Amino acid sequence: MRKIVRAVVATAALAAGLVSVPASASAAGTPYVPGTLRPSVSQATQDQALQKYYDFWKQNFLTTKCGTGTYAVLSKDADHAFVAEGEGYGITISAMMAEKDPQARAIVDGILKFVKAHPSVNDRDLHAAEQDSSCRSVNGSDSATDGDLEIAYGLLIADKKWGSSGTVNYKAEAVRIINAIKRSEVNGTTKFTLLGDWADDADYRNSSRSSDWMPGHLRAFAKATGDSFWDSVRSRSETAVSQLQSQYAPNTGLLPDFVVNTNSTPKPAPSGFLEGPYDGKYSWNACRDPWRLGVDAITAPGSAAANQVRKMNTWIKSATGGDPAKIQSGYSLSGSKTESGQHPCFTAPFAVAAMTDPGSQAWLDRLWTAVSTWSPDATDYYGTGITIQVLLVLSGNYVAA
């Protein structure tokens, strides 16, 4: 299955070949919508926190063991050594760190080499979603939409940072993948993203993953290709977010990991739909939604995500009494906890949501402290990768393609 298991897995075969880290620089991101909040600390302090996590990520999750000139991101807490979302995160993170890391371009090129060496069996312009510790594609060698969306977006960032006149034509590579996503990972009738290029059948063609509804990515795809199809995909998911919030989460604004019935009125998936008992809850996939919606709200004037993500922010601030330490690892859509304890993939994204609310400066500052002082875990690729990307946003280093 395409499940991400949030537990440690053995990666001894890849323990060597992890990458060294350089020093820091200053912010270089996309200007935010006027009124966007930022943490009440200096830019230097924000950049230092970002650099700390980036260095940790490189040292613990980036490996060169899969071939000469190849880089790959280890997913130590997944059920396979490498997963597609991790490679996408690696390209995006490294491209956005272009001004701060002289290795960044080599890392992007090396991860792209890994991705292209492992094509999906269903569409060779997409990435096979899982590889084992010997760098071999496994578990069907088909794709996962979240990974391909992120790989394409990261390549658009690479084009913005370095242009496409060098060894790698980042723009052309991105467009190649974007066109394949349209061809094989979007339901052409409903305009919803599918779960992967394996999911266009009776059981799954009318289902989707809410964390794949990334309005900023879809805007970038429309811009890069000149194809209004992507505006339709974005519009459809924006409408679905509002529908789900209104009908199933009027008090919280939370979204479910998986959504079904996308051919009529979308609704949360039933328990055990794909990954486990919390498939219809705000769990380990949907935890990314406040970040994904929030970043569009602060970079795209008039974004529908602004009001949607403020609902989430208002609820979590109230539910925790303004204490980030009380954010739990999953909730029902009505707001009761499903799993106890803190995890950065649940805490960090709410900091991006807080940036959208003019009345949340104190709450944002407390979230900043929680996120920037969290002790990273060398076995937690998922939480570390999300934390770095949230810190890119908080520190003003985020780039909208």
Angle of CA points 208, 82, 376, to nearest 5°:
95
**Residue 149, SS3?**
helix
Q: Are 256 and 269 in contact (CB under 8 A)?
A: yes
Angle of CA points 44, 316, 75, to nearest 5°:
65
**Residue 173, SS3?**
helix
Active-site entry in 47, 146, 148, 357 = 146
Nearest to 96 by CA among 49, 156, 42: 156
Beta carbons within 8 Å of 291's beta carbon, 6+ residues apart: 348, 349, 352, 353, 386, 389, 390, 393
Q: Output b/e per residue, 135-155; b: 16+ Cβ within 10 A.
A: bebbbbbbbbbbbbbbbbbbb
What is the four-CA torsion angle of 72, 353, 195, 105, rounded to 10 degrees?
-20
Determine whether 55 is an active site residue. Answer: no
What is the four-CA torsion angle of 52, 55, 60, 66, rounded to 10 degrees?
160
Strand stretches in 224-342, DSSP E: 258-260, 267-268
Up-side HSE of residue 258: CA atoms within 13 Å toward CB? Answer: 23
DSSP 8-state symbol, 102: T
Determine whether 85 is an active site residue. Answer: yes
Active-site entry in 55, 85, 101, 109 = 85
Nearest to 400 by CA among 302, 271, 292: 292
Cα separation, 118 vs 84, in Å, equals 10
Please report which helix (H) or strand (E) contains residue 63, including its range.
strand 62-63
Laid out side by side, the sheet with 258-260 consists of 207-209, 258-260, 267-268
Q: Which residues are catalytic?
A: 85, 146
